[in-house]
Structure 1
């Protein structure tokens, strides 16, 4: 049951990521268009029972499985997952060959409550689904733009070869899928561009070889892994560096990348903890932001990193400017590694001489951490405030003072 919840949550995460990308383009609303839906005890029981009945152990481990849901059942599942992952509500209407989805999500963008209101019309096509029209905060945006934002997510599902057929009809949805071993890893691997996958898988193999030879009682350092992966020479230095960054981002987050076209269950050793400045979380922030930069852009990496910290301040581990430093250092590193062939080759030469964390990650002494939302707002206001801007300027100055970035600027 836990695996199925993860799969459904992963699918919803794709939708949330799409919504976040669209939200970058327009203003948010101060109130939701779709009120938050509070499920009744009976509805929660139904959602729990449905997930239990459709868990992997209750279905064949191989072959094609089929699911059919009425419009009401699909809406209940969607809102049940939203209860777990976010604050908001959603309304789903199923037509013949099309689906209309309206959703309102509360986002932790500042101390003023903000809602992302989205309305999408999706239609069937050869690649499962296509966005025909989209509105955000009541403003229409080009369907082609929304489709571009969705292509990578939908392409991941297609390349993972999990969903076989998807049929929409009036008031119902019919889905056939192949439950495969390591399904979530295959789905996650689908986000790696198909033409880059062989290089990323090769980088992952080298990572596991390094980890296997590393003394068990010694923590693996991010600098050591970056030095080893980036030292590899190739015809295309930018592509090689991109592959190294994507493979390492998955590794430090405890993820394994698998070839979606392979149905086998080859056993792979689980990734070992990787430290940056003696902390595992900093290596995760650094590499995740680097991967987002090579696959997207700096603005999206900055926004997602900041959203995560604000979410932490509102009941999680607390807002951390040390984490923000790792985010921004990762973005800077990725730009250096992939912006030009000359820069990529220069970084590879330095890697062959051996990188240290002093080269690319500043000290984090004196940076506020563990801040509650209240203390963050009290001390820094919002990202438009002068106090916050001064702190970010201080962080960026620390990053630019690193030898690796001083050399690249010279």
Structure 2
């Protein structure tokens, strides 16, 4: 028995050692000392205003899923999307290109300090073909044939979904045509796949997620019971109401940071967009649907600023701060198009304030004091800075004349002014 135990321990030890050696060898082959790409981020974001037609195409793709369709992506659109990814993740560098022979993308990620190397480099190729055909996939020093990489990726997605939906959808892509300036994709009808996707059972919430859902539902119910005027109402009044409820629950033993998070998410659903509820769980209650605000909320007497604030705060809670800022900035760059409202530093101020608000409201060190300051108060000046004098309404030409590009000194000066105004508010100094 003792001898058998020794062999068992020896076998386990040898297996672990081999696994560590394989992992180390893999990291040695994958991680490298130099990046494969260093891209001009500002140049990529220059064409952000051209992404709006792409978003409209993708929206229409689902609406017309019963019919054969064509999706067209231009080189500037692809490069702008790469720029958005890099804006959201500053350690990421990426490049996307097109030619008649192939489409390609290269990404380099600057890793935290480690003994293997500084960068994880990845490149992938898309070939023109009937259907979808990947070229070589490279991860550092490892090269994988496109056919095997594609099969592995589809298997992983199908396994995650519990259905062959990913594989089935790829089969509906009938043709990929490439040129120097655009990619054209022909897609067969896929309405049956959309129906299957909607019919997938919802994942059961973990205990922690269920408790979060219950907290959000509590604050949503409190908001739904508030008497609302027929005219617009300041967002500050609603924030004061939910933070007063959060303070009461904290005084009864709840955790301030998690109560504040639930209060903000409930308000984003109630006065922002009910679609945020998809990230929380079923909040429909007995009525079968979520009751949202019957009027509009405002900040600085503007409806759009209230939405910018709420959306950015909610995205901050659902993601990382860099992603929230990047989405807000990218939206403003898109608005420089002829039919857009123009680039607005006023909107960016609302985005940046919403992020800062959510960050401090949910930080354990500041959450309780945040409640005390916000509870029951409707004064916007407590949490929202003055936007007087901040420039807005720039079309693409006017933006370029005044700021040249994103991250120019003039552009950074405007962001610094916004940050200064936010920092001056007492709420954000604790």
What interval of TM-score do these two structures reach, taking the shorter chain for normalisation? 0.5 to 0.7
5 Å-filtered alignment, 1:184-263, equals 196-210=212-226, 213-217=227-231, 219-231=232-244, 232=246, 233-234=249-250, 235-255=254-274, 257=277, 259-260=281-282
Do residues 282 (structure 1) and 305 (structure 2) align? yes
SS in 1 for 2:388: coil
Q: Does the CA-based 8 Å contact 2:271-2:292 persist in structure 1?
A: no
Q: Normalization by structure 1: what TM-score?
A: 0.58
Q: Does the CA-based 8 Å contact 1:302-1:327 persist in structure 2?
A: yes
Q: Does the CA-based 8 Å contact 2:337-2:396 persist in structure 1?
A: yes
Shift of residue 354, structure 1, vs aligned partner: 1.4
SS in 2 for 1:249: helix
Shift of residue 297, structure 1, vs aligned partner: 2.0
Q: Does the CA-based 8 Å contact 2:345-2:392 persist in structure 1?
A: yes
Pick one of 330, 334, 339 that aligns with 1:307. Answer: 330
Q: Does the CA-based 8 Å contact 2:238-2:378 persist in structure 1?
A: no
SS in 1 for 2:167: strand
Using the alignment, how far apart are the partners of 1:48 and 1:249 within structure 2? Answer: 26
Aligned length: 293
Using the alignment, how far apart are the partners of 1:398 and 1:351 within structure 2? Answer: 19
SS in 1 for 2:417: helix
Q: Does the CA-based 8 Å contact 1:221-1:275 persist in structure 2?
A: yes
Do residues 325 (structure 1) and 343 (structure 2) align? no
Using the alignment, how far apart are the partners of 2:60 and 2:330 within structure 1? Answer: 30
Using the alignment, how far apart are the partners of 1:296 and 1:50 within structure 2? Answer: 25
Shift of residue 322, structure 1, vs aligned partner: 0.4
Shift of residue 392, structure 1, vs aligned partner: 1.1
Shift of residue 396, structure 1, vs aligned partner: 0.8
RCO higher in structure (CA 8 A, sep ≥6): 2
Using the alignment, how far apart are the partners of 1:28 and 1:289 within structure 2? Answer: 27
- CA gap 1:252/1:135 in 2 versus in 1, 3 angstroms: farther
Match of 2:425 in 1: 402
Shift of residue 247, structure 1, vs aligned partner: 2.0
Shift of residue 177, structure 1, vs aligned partner: 3.6
Shift of residue 28, structure 1, vs aligned partner: 5.0
Do residues 362 (structure 1) and 385 (structure 2) align? yes
In structure 2, the gaps of 5 or more residues are: 1-35, 45-49, 51-56, 85-93, 98-103, 107-120, 126-136, 142-152, 173-191
Pick which of 236-245 and 352-361 moved more: 352-361
SS in 2 for 1:334: helix
Match of 2:291 in 1: 269
Match of 1:67 in 2: none
Using the alignment, how far apart are the partners of 1:261 and 1:164 within structure 2? Answer: 27
Using the alignment, how far apart are the partners of 2:37 and 2:268 within structure 1? Answer: 30
Shift of residue 312, structure 1, vs aligned partner: 0.4
- Structure 1, residues 81-138: CA drift from partner, whole Å, max 9, x if none? xx5xx7469xxxxxxxxxxxxx94544959xxx9646779xxxxxxxxxxxx974798
- Structure 1, residues 306-342: CA drift from partner, whole Å, max 9, x if none? 10111101231000010011111111111210122x4
